[in-house]
């Protein structure tokens, strides 16, 4: 893909929060979120290099294990989280990126649902690292 018609909408980075994608500079969480006030959260960061995730399965395994240990439920299964990560990269149009996934306890009272978000930000070192790869695949996958 190439050309202006296929340009990614948010080249500075994309985020997924509150059930939708947005430009990374518009992503917000409450200052009352327990991830902010008490560091009650977990996260993992995976690289995308040359349009492919590096060891995505290992990162998802580690993220799931951390959420289980902390008794956090992001409200999405593993396949949905993987789709969201791919979507962040797609919306940002990045071939080289850091892609984070974060789950916090949410806001008080504890009956509220956890806050879950993901962000893809630029790791580009040259213009060739930008592209419109909308389906990054794990490194080594066919």
DSSP 65-76: HHHHHHT---SS
> Over 70: is that where the pLDDT of 83 sits?
yes
Give domain limits for the chain: 9-138
Confidence (pLDDT) at 18: 86
pTM: 0.79
The listed CATH number (3.50.50.60, 3.20.20.80, 1.10.1530.10, 3.30.470.10) that belongs to domain 9-138: 3.30.470.10
pLDDT in tens, 8-59: 788 889 999 989 999 999 999 988 889 899 999 999 999 999 889 999 999 9
Return the residue matching tokens 């294990």.
65
Confidence (pLDDT) at 60: 97
Rounded distance, CA 66 to CA 42, Å? 7
Lowest mean pLDDT of 46-50, 53-57, 83-87, 118-122, name the range: 118-122
Residue 113 per-residue DSSP state? P
49 or 1, greater pLDDT: 49
């Amino acid at each position: 893909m190439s050309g202006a018609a296929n340009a990614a909408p948010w080249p500075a980075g994309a985020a997924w929060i509150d059930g939708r994608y947005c430009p990374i500079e518009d992503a917000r969480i409450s200052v009352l979120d327990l991830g902010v006030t008490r560091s009650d959260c977990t996260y993992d960061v995976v690289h995308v290099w040359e349009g492919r995730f590096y060891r995505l399965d290992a990162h998802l395994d580690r993220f799931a294990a951390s959420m289980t240990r902390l008794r956090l439920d992001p409200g999405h299964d593993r396949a949905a989280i993987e789709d969201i990560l791919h979507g962040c990269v797609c919306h940002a149009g990045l071939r080289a990126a850091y892609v984070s996934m974060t789950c916090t306890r949410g806001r008080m009272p504890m009956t509220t649902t956890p806050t879950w978000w993901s962000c893809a930000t630029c790791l580009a070192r040259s213009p060739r690292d930008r592209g419109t790869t909308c389906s990054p695949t794990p490194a080594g996958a066919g």
